[in-house]
């Protein structure tokens, strides 16, 4: 499996919790950015990919004409959109018009990822979202009417001004809509965000309770909890994201986009102006690259694979290299090792970062 990721870094407004590589009020640069994407894509033309993911930022902020141009670039440089086994576009409800939905469907996009975050209007306003619940519901209905049969919805647990009861009631309302996929993340307050500057702190106990109940509620509703933050009806697991966790190859285009090809990890400059400048002169956008070897490479593969709740199959080499770390994690109750299969326990699912750190260097000699 190999995936193509395209980053659209524009937003109308930054959410108060967001530390992603995105920029508000820079839409005037969109046409220049699309030209830059075309240039960067030309460096990798004719590579073959099985999945496509257009993320951000807010890809749906692009006009219908700009979305058409983007899909034309992908088709011309790589393959028709309809040829990808899975093609996802991230969208925010307030910028997802019926015109855009019909166009995306016509062009061959077969999966939508809708950023909802909460089913409470007061909470949405508090966290800096530009839509309300009715706008989301309208966008969802229009997506179904346009023929989208694979829709994912994002929610966040532990948001300020939202208690456990309200969160779970919102989750039930989302389930009633019949989505195929849900991504439920625990709030993290990162340095540099408005929430951090306001002194907002994550209520870890609240996040834990909400995520635990989400796990059981969605299982009862027929969803498979297949990755720490992701739930899907059978057959609707995100093929593109699974490739990341299986450490398979992917190419990322755009500012801040990351790639993994031939064992080398690369990431593009996060500076939008610098990205545009480099593309104008036909220069590489790559700001960082590394090629892990030895224990570091083996550890990264384990760490990524552990995100999948089905576990990761360990080679004899991996078991030998990390025997002491695995033993320690098993004793602490964060993982289990059954034969060659290493898996997070239920407790480990909520303390996954502690488990992951065992597989990240530097390692003791």
Q: Report pLDDT digits (tens) over 97-108.
A: 999 999 999 999
**pLDDT band with cut points at 50, 70 and 90 for residue 91:** very high
Q: If DSSP states are collapsed to H, E and C, what string results for 85-136?
A: CEEEEEECHHHCCHHHHHHHHHHCCCEEEEEEECCCHHHHHHCCCCCCHHHH
Q: Which long-range contacts (CB under 8 A, 24 or more apart) does 327-333 make?
A: 328/358, 329/355, 329/358
pLDDT of residue 20: 82
pLDDT score, position 162: 96
Q: Across all residues in the chain, what is the average pLDDT?
A: 96
Q: What is the pLDDT of residue 271?
A: 96
- Read off the tokens for 47: 């590579």
Mean pLDDT confidence for 305-333: 96
- Residue 140 pLDDT exceeds 80: yes
Least confident range of 20-24, 91-95, 96-100, 329-333:
20-24
Taking only the tens place, the pLDDT of each residue in 56-66 is 999 999 999 99
pLDDT band at 24 (very low <50, low <70, confident <90, very high): confident
pLDDT at residue 350 tops 70: yes
Give the span between the Cα atoms of 238 and 88, in whole angstroms. Answer: 9
User: What is residue 51's predicted lDDT score, i.e. its pLDDT?
Assistant: 98
Q: pLDDT confidence of 21, banded at 50, 70, 90?
A: confident
For 294, residues 6+ apart whose C-beta sits below 8 A from its C-beta are none
Domain positions in the chain: 3-245, 294-359
- To the question of domain 294-359 being in CATH 1.20.1440.230, the answer is no
Q: Model's pTM, two decimal places?
A: 0.96
3-245 shares its CATH topology with 294-359 = no
Is the pLDDT assigned to residue 365 strictly greater than 80? no
Give me the count of residues in the chain.
Answer: 365
312-331: average pLDDT: 96
Classify residue 307 as left (phi > 0), alpha (psi -120 to 50) or beta: alpha
Provide φ and ψ at 91, rounded to 5°.
-150, 150
- Residue 37 CA to residue 253 CA, distance in Å, equals 7
In the predicted model, is pLDDT for residue 31 greater than 80?
yes
Section 151-159 average pLDDT:
98
Q: Does domain 3-245 have CATH number 3.40.50.2300?
A: no
* Peptide bond connecting 286 to the previous residue in cis, omega within 30 degrees of 0: no
Residue 266 pLDDT greater than 90, yes or no = yes
Q: Is it the case that residue 1 has pLDDT exceeding 70? A: no
Tell me which residue of 146, 1, 144, 179 sits closest to 86, measured CA to CA: 1
CA-based nearest residue to 287, from 308, 272, 302, 297? 272
Report residue 25's pLDDT band, with 50, 70 and 90 as the boundaries: confident
What pLDDT score does 182 carry? 98
At 19 the pLDDT is 83
Q: Over the stretch 160-194, which tens digit does the pLDDT of each residue have?
A: 999 999 999 999 999 999 999 999 999 999 999 99
Q: How do 181-186 and 230-232 pair as beta strands?
A: antiparallel
Q: What is the pLDDT of residue 164?
A: 98
- CA angle, residues 350, 355, 360, in degrees to nearest 5: 140
Q: Are 13 and 128 in contact (CB under 8 A)?
A: yes
Whole-number pLDDT of residue 22: 84
Residue in the block written with tokens 């956008």:
285
Please, which pLDDT band fits residue 26 given cuts at 50, 70 and 90? confident
Confidence check: pLDDT of 363 > 80: no
- Given this model, what pLDDT does residue 331 score? 97
Q: How high is the pLDDT of residue 270?
A: 96
> Using one digit for the tens of pLDDT, what is the confidence trace for 107-135?
999 999 999 999 999 999 999 999 999 99
The DSSP string of 176-245 is HH--SEEEEEE----TTSHHHHHT----HHHHHHHHHHHHHHHHHTT-EEEETTEEE-TT-S-HHHHHHH
Average pLDDT for 34-39: 98
SS (H, E, C) 279-299: HHCCCCCEEEEECCCHHHHHH
Distance, CA of 8 to CA of 275 (rounded, Å): 12
Instruction: Say what the pLDDT of residue 302 is.
Output: 97
């Amino acid at each position: 499996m190999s995936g193509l990721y395209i980053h659209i870094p524009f937003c109308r407004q930054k959410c108060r919790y967001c530390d992603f590589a995105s920029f508000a009020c820079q839409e005037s640069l969109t046409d220049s950015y699309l030209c830059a994407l075309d240039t960067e894509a030309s460096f990798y033309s004719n590579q073959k990919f099985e999945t496509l993911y257009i993320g951000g930022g807010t890809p749906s902020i692009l006009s219908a004409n700009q979305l058409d141009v983007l899909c034309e670039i992908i088709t011309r440089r790589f393959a028709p959109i309809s040829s990808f086994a899975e093609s996802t576009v991230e969208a925010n409800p307030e910028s997802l018009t019926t015109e855009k939905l019909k166009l995306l469907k016509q062009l061959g996009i077969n999966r939508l990822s809708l950023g909802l975050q909460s089913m409470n209007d007061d909470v949405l306003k508090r966290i800096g979202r530009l839509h309300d619940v009715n706008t989301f519901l309208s966008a969802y209905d229009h997506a179904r009417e346009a023929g989208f049969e694979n829709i994912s919805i994002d929610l966040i647990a532990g948001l300020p001004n939202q208690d456990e009861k309200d969160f779970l009631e919102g989750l039930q309302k989302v389930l009633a809509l019949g989505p195929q996929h849900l991504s439920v993340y625990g709030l993290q307050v990162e340095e540099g965000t408005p929430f951090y500057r306001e002194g907002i702190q994550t209520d870890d106990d609240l996040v834990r309770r909400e995520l635990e109940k989400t796990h059981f509620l969605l299982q009862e509703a027929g969803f498979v909890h297949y990755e720490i933050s992701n739930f899907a009806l059978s057959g609707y697991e995100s093929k593109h994201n699974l490739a990341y966790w299986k450490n398979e190859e992917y190419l990322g285009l755009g500012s801040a986009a990351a790639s993994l090809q031939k064992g080398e990890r690369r990431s593009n400059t996060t500076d939008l102006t610098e990205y545009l400048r480099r593309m104008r002169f036909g220069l590489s956008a790559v700001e960082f690259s590394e090629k892990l070897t030895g224990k570091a490479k083996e550890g990264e593969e384990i760490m990524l694979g552990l995100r999948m709740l089905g576990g990761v199959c360990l080679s004899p080499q991996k078991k030998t290299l990390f025997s002491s770390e695995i033993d320690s994690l098993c004793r602490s109750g964060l993982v289990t090792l059954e034969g060659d299969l290493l898996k997070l326990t239920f407790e480990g699912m909520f303390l996954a970062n502690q488990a992951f750190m065992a597989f990240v260097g530097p390692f003791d000699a």
